[in-house]
Amino acid sequence: MSPNHTASSEDISRLWDRYVQVSRKYKEACRATDAAQAACEAAFAIEARRGREVVTASHAFQAATDAAFLNEIGISTR
């Protein structure tokens, strides 16, 4: 800027160009962040589903081992 604190048309043009560049980078960063967040949410959903599957399998295993133990000691589970 000139010493009298006024901006020339070249100053304004440079500032506008810089604004446009920064704005594009910001929008690119937002898109990348949104994509990463979506990927994380998808991974968390898969992890939660698999966690529920492990719990279900664990309960089934526990029920089967309990039934086998009771059968082994002569208590019918039927």
Give the pLDDT mean for 34-55. 98
User: What predicted TM-score, i.e. pTM, was given to this entire model?
Assistant: 0.59
CA 52, distance to chain mean position in Å, is: 19
Residue 37's identity, in one-letter code, is Q
**Per-residue pLDDT at 36:** 98
Are the C-beta atoms of residues 11 and 1 closer than 8 Å to each other? yes
Q: Quote the CA–CA distance of 17 and 11 in Å, as a whole number.
A: 10
Tokens representing residue 13 in the block: 């043009």
Give the pLDDT mean for 64-73. 93
Helix (H, G, I), strand (E, B) or coil at 76: coil
Tokens representing residue 43 in the block: 């991974």
Give the pLDDT mean for 1-5. 61
Helix (H, G, I), strand (E, B) or coil at 74: coil
Is the predicted pLDDT of residue 76 greater than 90, yes or no? no
